[in-house]
Structure 1
Amino acid sequence: MNHTFTNRISLALLLFLIITLPTYADAPPPNNPSDLSKKEFRRQQRTERRRLRKIKRQQRRIKRIKRFLNSRRGQRFLGRFFRDLFSCKIIPASFTRDDFWLAAECSFWRLLATALLFGILVGLSLLTGTMGFGLLGIVAILMGGMLAFLSFFTFLIGIFL
């Protein structure tokens, strides 16, 4: 068998389709209103109305948040939030609840950024592993593991500071 790049990609795509298609085949068929009894039909309508109300509520909430963030107060809040986000105090003169919260929040954002980087590295390693560059994939996994390890300890230091 000729192991070219296109063969490997098509094989990976075929495996992906073989794995994912049975999940769609197992989905239950949609309920037809003509097949349901009156009680079941009313129950289904009630759940549909409830779902639509929930969606409308979420949309109203999003609109309200957008209006707030576009207002002057919202802009001031965002400025203060992003200014305080990256100003991490290592050892403040006196510990207050805000200092603990700020340290934990800073380390949380660092952990999140490292987790994102780790996810990208794992994806790259899987991609390069399927292309045949196994050594590069192993290096990417090791680097991501080291970063995740360091970020976890940074998070612990931030919590218990």
Structure 2
Amino acid sequence: MVAEASKRTKILILVGFVPVAGIFVWGAMRAPLDPGEALETCMTPYFDAVDAERYDEAWERHTTAGYRRAHAKGEFRAALETHRRERGRIVSRGERIENGFANVDGRSGFHFRYWFGFERGDPVNVVYTVVHQDDGTWRIDGALESIGRAGRPGPW
């Protein structure tokens, strides 16, 4: 009787332990998010498209659906065309990873700060929010431009 109860207890412990252990193993096996991957697969091609004045491509391929809802393609294109007309071409660009984040809604990603020097005018500082999508891609979900101390969200 004691042996049977002990056997039942072992089975219950095993049945409870295996799923919990599986969750921990699965979590450990998942690769952490890589800022280098986000830079290589999202930000670099985004800037390549913007530098070549392929604004529609930048909007379609490198921004989230939420970003596209907030900034219509025509608005995005017009803002970048105006920006380019006023300041000229980008002559220098620097970047820094600000921080990574993981939200309770499951979204995770990075904030990248970029400094841009232009042919004309003051340098511009933009913080991009880049999020990891369910399909494994990285996309821009927001941008905040700062000139001096003022910040304004926009399609940059």
TM interval, shorter chain, is: under 0.3
Higher strand share: 2
Bigger-Rg structure (1/2): 1
TM-score (norm 1): 0.26
Higher helix share: 1
TM-score (norm 2): 0.27
